[in-house]
Chain A
Amino acid sequence: MNRKFEWKSDFLEVFEKARKENKAVLLDFYNPG
C-alpha cells in the first residue's frame, strides 16, 4: 500500500524509536471494519 513508510503497531517500540530519533509520532486509529 505505502511505498516508503511502514506503520508500526507496538506503542513501546514506537515511542522508544521516537525518543531515539527525536521525532513526533503520527498515531492513526483506523476502523477495523
Chain B
Amino acid sequence: MDAVTYPDEIVADYIDDTFIPLRISSDTQPYADDFNVKWTPRIIILDPTGAVHQSNVGFFPPEEFIPSLEIGLAKVDFNQDCLEECRQHLNRILASHPQSFSAPEAVYLKGVVKYKMIGDAKFLKEAYYQLQERYPASEWARRAWPYRLL
C-alpha cells in the first residue's frame, strides 16, 4: 500500500477529502486485540462513534481502493438509515468504477436501498437481472439469486 496505493495522487486526494486517516502498527495494544488484527494490511472504516462498517485484509491497487472506500462509506450511511446518501455513494461507484470489484456489490446494495426507500420489491428483482447481465460471475449475482422469484 505504501509503495503504490497511498502515494497515488487521486487516492491521497480522496482520503484527504473524505476521511480522518488513522494508522497504527498491527502490534499496538489494546487495538490489535480489540480489532482482532491477525494480518496486514488491515483496513477498517468506522463512523465517528467508533462503529465498524467495513473491514478488509490485503492489498488494493489504486483503481480498486477508491471504490472500496466509497462502498465503505455507502455502508456507513446504509447502517445509519441515511439511504439517499448511501445511494449517492453507490451511484458514484457505478458511474466512475463500473469495472471494479466493488461494482457488483454496489448494484446489489442499490437494489436493496431502492427497495427500502420505496417499498417495491421490483428493485430487488432489477438488481438480480442487472447483476446477471453485467456481473454474472460475481458473488453478488449469486447472493441476489432469490430475488428473481419476487
Nearest-Cβ distance from residue A13 to partner chain B, whole angstroms: 9
A15 — which chain B residues lie within 8 A by C-beta?
20, 48-50
For A23, what are the chain B residues with a Cβ–Cβ distance below 8 Å?
A: 18-20, 48
> Which residues does A use to contact B, with CB under 8 Å?
1-9, 11, 14-15, 17-19, 21-32
Of the residues B7, B35, B73, contact of A2 by C-beta under 8 Å: B7
State whether B43 touches A26 (Cβ < 8 A): yes
* Residue of B2, B25, B43, B48 most packed against chain A (CB within 10 A): B48
Question: Judging by beta carbons under 8 Å apart, are A26 and B24 in contact?
Answer: no
CB contact between A30 and one of B16, B25, B49 (< 8 Å): that residue? B25
Cross-chain contact A29 with B48 (CB below 8 angstroms): no
Contacts of B73 in A (CB 8 A): 24
Q: Known: A4-B12, A4-B13, A31-B41. Is A24-B20 also a contact (CB below 8 A)?
A: yes
> Does B86 interact with chain A (Cβ within 8 Å)?
no
Contact: B19 with A26, CB < 8 Å?
Answer: yes
Q: 23 A–B contact pairs at CB < 8 A?
A: A1-B2, A5-B21, A6-B21, A7-B23, A8-B22, A8-B23, A11-B22, A15-B48, A15-B49, A22-B48, A24-B46, A24-B73, A25-B22, A25-B45, A27-B24, A28-B22, A28-B24, A29-B23, A29-B42, A29-B44, A30-B25, A30-B41, A31-B40
Q: Whose C-beta in chain B lies nearest to the C-beta of A8?
A: B22
Q: Is the CB of A25 within 8 A of B41?
A: no
- Find out whether the CB atom of B25 lies under 8 angstroms from the CB atom of A32: yes
**Within the complex, what minimum Cβ distance (angstroms) separates A14 from chain B?**
4
Q: A residues within 8 A CB of B49?
A: 15, 19
How far apart sit A25 and B52, CA to CA, in the bound complex (Å)?
Answer: 9
